[in-house]
Structures are given as structure tokens and as C-alpha cells.
A and B are shown apart, each in its own frame.
Chain A
């Protein structure tokens, strides 16, 4: 299924790409790197939101085994949580393909790096998660009440471990 992004986005992105190519020749390397990573995150964010829009368009029995569709509230929470993840710089370790509906109406987000997995579930009022780190020091949360405008502390710690250890491993390789 193809989901068309909001009409203003392609125009904005092409302008950003033009600016990026001009800057490449004239600006310092650190600025260039941060500018490029910011552009990459914007593009990832668009893909992530398109993925959620795609899930929102599903009909009942979408898996052929009587699955239900996530409610509008769960969809709204997921969009809101994506914005929060973006603000904290975690959206770059979330592949849009890893945003998946569950058969019972919640949405899974699996953050994966070379250091392991943090599997997050977005519900109507709670976020739950479990980890699968390569060092076996795993954490599990049955559900934390949240408004999705912030990342609950235990989840924040798990995502930081996943991201930072993976970054350190990449630098030392």
C-alpha cells in the first residue's frame, strides 16, 4: 500500500536538498555532518509517519486471522510519541518497517542496533517495553502510564544504552 505524504513535504524537502548541496562546498565539516544528519532524520521521520498512516488505513482482519485495527487514540499516541522520539534523537534507530500493528490493536516499535533490541508497545494510555541486549542485562516494563509527550525514565535509559553502546561499538570498529 502506498501512502502519499502531506502535499507540503516534497517541496520542502527538495529545497532542503538544494541548500545542502550548496553548503557542502562552503561550510566547515562539523556543520556539514550535523546538517546532513538533521536532513536524514527529517527524511526518516517522514517515512515513520507514513508508516503509521498506512497502519491507520488498515481494515479489520488485516492479517487474515481476525486482527483488529488500532484505535484513533492509539494512532494519535503513536504520532505524538514519534515526535517525542525525534526531539530526543532516537528516531534514527527506528526503521519504519519495524513499526507494526499487533492483532489486538496496539502498535509495536522495535528499535534495533548491533547492540540489541528495545521493543516498545504503544497502547491507549500506556507504553510497555522489553529489551534484548547483547550483554543479557535485560529490562521489561509491563506498562507505564504516559501522555506520550515524554519518554518514561526506564525506557529512556534503555534507548540510551542501545544507542550509545552501538555508537561506541561503531567508533571502536
Chain B
């Protein structure tokens, strides 16, 4: 049984399931694909070394709803995050810099499994390979209509570093 390590290697590909129509355009991942829900800090990722691309595709397809369909898988690494953090730090002279980190976070039925060791094929853990991209401050309140320029710019920098590893056909186009 392969143990899922609590530390995430700097070059470890972490997958985001990107949705159509607002997450991907003109061969680029849009910044919105890396933004958490309102008042939250976490964006779900799957650690590719502890699952398969096929599983990630199935997971992406399971997210679809009336407004969106699964579009592609794109990866991000801790290295990408650290580069973006450094850029944010140097460009934020007088303000608190936006930063993030990728953290360990296996999940079962919507809850984190953090106390016990988790193995790749653990039958009691739905998503042993789950991790979070965690921002250092939450995104704005849903009813405020508040703009968040620095967070958008950070997400934009990060999205530009992502590598697409799988594309789904949408409206007859790949």
C-alpha cells in the first residue's frame, strides 16, 4: 500500500478540473479557474502521483451541472506557487501581499481526513489524493459585489503557469 505523504514535493503535479464555458479560452486557463468560492480560501486539486489521469477525468465529469461541463485537466506545482508568491511579494510594497500554498487534504464525503495516515487505495477515503491550493486571505463576500484586483492578478499569474494535460470535446470541438 502506497502512503500519501503529507508534504507535497515542489515538482509534484497537482491537477485542477477546469470547467466550460468560463474556465478555459483560446488554449489558456482563465484566472477564474483558480479562484475559490466567496469568503473561502481553498481551491480543490488532485495529486497526480497518487492517482491516475483517468480518475481525474472521471472526477471532472462528475462535477458538471446545468451551467457548466468539464473542459480540461491542468496541473500546477508548488514551484509555480512559490514563483507567484515571490512576484506578489516584490510587487506589493505598501500592502499585504496575496500568497498561497498547496497543502495536504485527503477527503471523505466532503470532510478532511487529517488525523490518520492515508493510503492511495484506502477503501475508507474517497479522495486520498485531494489537496488544496490555499490563499492567505479569503475571497470577497458573495453579496457585497466587492472588487478584488490583487487576488485576480495573483490568480492570473498562477493560471498562466498551468499545463493542460487533458482536453474534453465540448460542442464538437477539442
Chain A, 86-124, contact with B by CB distance < 8 Å: what is the 0/1 string? Answer: 000000000001101111111010000000000101111
Alpha-carbon separation in the docked complex, A141 to B36 (Å): 21
Given contacts A61-B65, A73-B145, contact A104 B139 (CB under 8 A): yes
Question: What is the number of contacts between chain A and chain B, taking CB atoms within 8 Å?
Answer: 122
- Contact (Cβ within 8 A) B148 A119: no
Residue of A nearest to B34 (CB): A103
Q: With an 8 A cutoff between CB atoms, is A152 at the interface? A: no
Q: How many residues of B contact A (CB 8 A)?
A: 38
- Contact (Cβ within 8 A) A64 B32: no
Which of chain B's residues have a CB closer than 8 A to the CB of A106?
140, 145-148
Q: With an 8 A cutoff between CB atoms, is A46 at the interface? A: no
Among A1, A102, A129, which residue has the most Cβ atoms of chain B within 10 A? A102
Q: How many residues of A contact B (CB 8 A)?
A: 41
17 contacting pairs across A/B (C-beta < 8 A): A1-B21, A1-B67, A61-B65, A62-B65, A65-B36, A66-B40, A73-B145, A101-B22, A101-B32, A102-B32, A104-B146, A106-B148, A121-B148, A124-B146, A130-B152, A140-B149, A142-B149
Give the interface of B toward A (CB within 8 A). 19, 21-23, 25-26, 30-32, 35-40, 43-44, 63-68, 139-150, 152-153, 156
